[in-house]
Structures are given as structure tokens and as C-alpha cells.
């Protein structure tokens, strides 16, 4: 099958990377939730932003995965389209943005809710390999293809 300029091949990533990065995200979000630190949630906002807007391979957690973890793994590298995980990072970015804004405006309950939603999503990916944001992406693609 020939790719046309209107339908380029998707950029792929190592499918094991998002689960690893979700584990780091889970730890960072747990620390943010426990400490209510603007610096910790701000750092995670930055990481989400880099992954969503620049690329998964350029994010700090992606760099850690590629340089420290991936070289130690054996066997074939399972590949996946990067678009669903990048969308998931965008969703995480939005929750972290709400968390940062809520801390700046003393809305601690909103901070707790937003951070908890992101933490649950990171937990699902880390523990079970279930990427909630990726599922949302696929559902939205189906909806918009029908429209």
C-alpha cells in the first residue's frame, strides 16, 4: 500500500514506553497530591506539555525510558502510533493546568479532584496497561469520522 501526501504513515513509538512513563507520572502526581506543592504539579504540567505539544520522545520521562530502560529490554520492540498517547498527555496537561490554577487561587478541593483524576488515569496505565486517554482518542476519532 502506497502512502500519499494526504495520508502519511503515523509516527510510531515503543509501546512499552507509555506504561513506564505512567509509573513515573503516578509517583509525581501522588507526591503532588500529598504535598499540594505548586512546584511538583507545575513540573508535571511541564512534562505533560512537552509530551503533548513537542513529542513523547522529547519529554523528560521519554528520554529516561529511551536511555536507561529500553536498552536493557530484550526481544522485538512493539510499536504503536504515537497519536493516542500524545492525546492522553494533552488530557493530563489539561488536568494539571486546572490543578496549578486551582492552587494559585486557593481552590484546594478543585486541585485535589483534578490531580486525583490524572493520578487514577496514570495508575490504570501503570498497573494494567489501560490508557484511558488513548481510549478517549480512539472514541473521538470514530465519532468525528462518522460526522
Res 1: pLDDT: 47
Q: pTM of the predicted model, to two decimals?
A: 0.91
Res 50: pLDDT: 98
Distance between CA atoms of 130 and 147, rounded to whole angstroms?
A: 27
Res 74: pLDDT: 94
Which positions of the chain have pLDDT values less than 70?
A: 1-7
| Spans of all domains in the chain | 13-146
pLDDT, tens digit, 9 for 90 and up, residues 92-133: 999 999 999 999 999 999 999 999 999 999 999 999 999 999
Distance between CA atoms of 100 and 39, rounded to whole angstroms?
A: 9
Distance between CA atoms of 116 and 97, rounded to whole angstroms?
A: 13
Amino acid at each position: 500500500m502506497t502512502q500519499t501526501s494526504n495520508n502519511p504513515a503515523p509516527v510510531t513509538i515503543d509501546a512499552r514506553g507509555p506504561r513506564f512513563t505512567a509509573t513515573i507520572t503516578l509517583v509525581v502526581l501522588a507526591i503532588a497530591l500529598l504535598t499540594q506543592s505548586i512546584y511538583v504539579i507545575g513540573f508535571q504540567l511541564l512534562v505533560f506539555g512537552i509530551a503533548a505539544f513537542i513529542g513523547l520522545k522529547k519529554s523528560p520521562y521519554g528520554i529516561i525510558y529511551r536511555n536507561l530502560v529500553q536498552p536493557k529490554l530484550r526481544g522485538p520492540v512493539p510499536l504503536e502510533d504515537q497519536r493516542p498517547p500524545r492525546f492522553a498527555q494533552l488530557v493530563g496537561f489539561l488536568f494539571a493546568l486546572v490543578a496549578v490554577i486551582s492552587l494559585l487561587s486557593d481552590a484546594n478541593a478543585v486541585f485535589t479532584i483534578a490531580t486525583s483524576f490524572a493520578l487514577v488515569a496514570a495508575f490504570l496505565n501503570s498497573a494494567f496497561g489501560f490508557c484511558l486517554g488513548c481510549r478517549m482518542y480512539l472514541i473521538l476519532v470514530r465519532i468525528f469520522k462518522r460526522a
